[in-house]
Chains A and B, each alone.
Chain A
Amino acid sequence: MTEPMGRPSARPAMAGYPPASSASLADVLERVLDKGIVIAGDIRINLLDIELLTVKLRILIASVDKAKEMGIDWWEHDPSLSSRGGDRSLAAENRRLRAELDALHRGGPGTGTAAGAETTGAPAARGPGTTGHDSPPGPAERRPPP
């Protein structure tokens, strides 16, 4: 059903132009990763991930400012892209969960406190006990984010 194929010796459509190897990596990535037809394969990074990957790769090629203009700034919270991102989001989550726990312990509604704590600036969270990524996750941290 499959047939071997040789490298073409003549390239009528490409004659006179530089070969693919001279194309810039940015141009090749732009086309191979971001363009081309997308069909459902069996081994696939799910659709959401494909979108995220596309944006992630676009950052290599196009500007961050442009992506921000489009309202896409998730990478700022992505630990693989921002050295501060993981720390910051974990710290924020830790802070939010602690506030929720406090509210529960007090037995009151306490949602105002939790929401207030969530908006605290990141530098304030860098104290001991809030760098959650170094400590084993407590029971509260297994709760899915809202």
Chain B
Amino acid sequence: MTARRDPPAGVPPGSAAQMLTYVYAVTPDVPPPVPGPVLTGVAGRPVGFLRLPGSGPVAFAVSTVPASKWNEHALRAHFEDLEWLQDTARAHHRVVESLAARTTVLPMRMATLYDSRARALEALAGQAETFAVQLARLSGRTEYGVKIYMSPVADAPAPADTDTGPGRAYLQARRVRQRTLQEHYGQAQVAADRIAEAGRRWADGHACHPVQSGPLTAGTAEENVLNDAYLVAVDRAAQFRAAVEDAARHLPGVRLEVTGPWAPYSFAAPSTPPPEP
């Protein structure tokens, strides 16, 4: 892919003694413990919190993981392994979601790792103010995913007029096909416009994701034509959902899928433009 790097010096291969600090998310504070089994994260490791001395404004949700399995070389190999990727992504997501149920979270991209707790604390201290600002922006809001799926276009019926020659029949069939397609995808446009309207009315943020059509989403005949995310205040979520779910009304070729609430993954990066007033 790019230039290979040597494994970090001082980390003997297979050493279980050396532990790294894996960060899941930033939270505004340490949520009070709740009864029940201890939350586990990546590699089945328990989840704890790192906070700044003197109770700073933000905390990291972390696990310690063995360096031998999480150094750069190991990660590079793991990222090619879909099974590992799936387990780790789901574990990361489980932790973020559990936290999001109780407090505001700023989710980290998967595989954010520090050499030690001290190094993680340094990073936390260095960006505490930025994190606090972003957490305030996301407070009381969750993310919803909205997708539009189109059913496959039905083949146009053969033209009834058999008096026409083969050339004319071909052109006629082509015109019918084109009109069918236009009508078909016109429905998607109507649904998309209604969703955008619902977003303007009820949401505080909007992000467009690429439509899903890769190997992971193959196996359905439906075509994904829109894959967006909206940031919605918790107390407006019901109205937003209702408005979005209504967007496919009287559009027989359209299926809507609303997912969430998600932790605000799509709105965590500071580059996200501020919500419209």
C-alpha gap A36/B109 in the complex (Å): 5
Interface residues of B, CB < 8 Å — how many? Answer: 82
**Interface 0/1 of B55-77, CB less than 8 Å to A:** 00000011000010011100110
One of B78-86, B151-159, B183-191 at the interface: B78-86
Q: Using a CB-CB cutoff of 8 Å, which residues 9-58 of chain A contact chain B?
A: 9-14, 17, 20-21, 23-46, 48-49, 52-53, 56-58
B119 within 8 A of A: yes
Question: CB of B206 within 8 A of chain A?
Answer: no
Instruction: Tell me which of A61-69, A88-96, A111-119, A129-137 binds B.
Output: A61-69
Given A4-B46, A43-B72, A43-B114: A26 touches B269 (CB 8 Å cut-off): no
The listed residue (A6, A26, A36, A78) touching B1 by CB distance below 8 A is A78
Q: Are B20 and A43 in contact (CB under 8 A)?
A: yes
Task: Take A6-B37, A13-B261, A21-B90 as given contacts and tell me if A45 and B76 are in contact as well, using a CB distance cutoff of 8 Å.
Answer: yes
Number of interface residues of A (CB under 8 A): 58
Known A-B contacts A13-B234, A36-B108; A61 and B90 likewise in contact (beta carbons under 8 Å): no
Separation in Å of the A41 CB from the closest CB of chain B? 5
What is the predominant secondary structure among interface residues of chain B facing chain A?
mixed
CB contacts (< 8 Å) of A1 on chain B: these are 50-51, 117
A37 touches B123 (CB 8 A): no
A28 B89 Cβ-Cβ under 8 A: yes
Q: Say how far A3's CB is from chain B's closest CB, in angstroms.
A: 5
Check B197 for interface membership: any CB of A closer than 8 A.
Answer: no
CA distance A27 to B266 in the complex (A): 11
Q: How far is the CB of B235 from chain A (nearest CB, A)?
A: 11
CB neighbours (8 Å) of A37 from chain B are 26, 106-109, 134, 268-270
Number of A-B contacts (CB under 8 A): 213
Which chain A residue has the least Cβ–Cβ distance from B118? Answer: A1
Is B198's CB within 8 Å of the partner chain A?
no
Query: Would you call A58 and B214 a contact (CB within 8 A)?
Result: yes
Q: In the bound complex, do residue B38 and residue A7 qualify as a contact, i.e. CB atoms below 8 Å apart?
A: yes
A20 contacts B90, CB within 8 Å?
Answer: yes
Docked pose: A6 CA to B73 CA in angstroms: 32
The verdict on A5 contacting chain B, using a C-beta distance below 8 Å, is yes
Report the bound CA distance from A35 to B210 in whole Å.
12
Q: Chain B residues with Cβ under 8 A from A9's Cβ?
A: 34-36
The docked-state distance in angstroms from the alpha carbon of A53 to that of B234 is 33
* Structural contact, A49 and B1, CB atoms closer than 8 A: yes
Instruction: Check A33 against B97 for contact (C-beta < 8 Å).
Output: no
The reply on A139 being an interface residue by CB < 8 A is no
Find chain B residues with CB under 8 A from A80 CB.
1, 80
Are A7 and B127 closer than 8 Å at their CB atoms? no
- 29 A-B pairs within 8 Å (CB atoms) are namely A1-B50, A2-B50, A4-B33, A5-B33, A5-B34, A5-B61, A6-B37, A7-B36, A8-B34, A10-B101, A12-B101, A23-B93, A25-B86, A26-B216, A28-B90, A29-B216, A36-B265, A41-B113, A42-B119, A43-B67, A43-B75, A45-B72, A45-B76, A46-B5, A59-B215, A61-B212, A62-B211, A66-B210, A66-B211
Chain A interface (Cβ within 8 Å of chain B)? 1-14, 17, 20-21, 23-46, 48-49, 52-53, 56-66, 78, 80
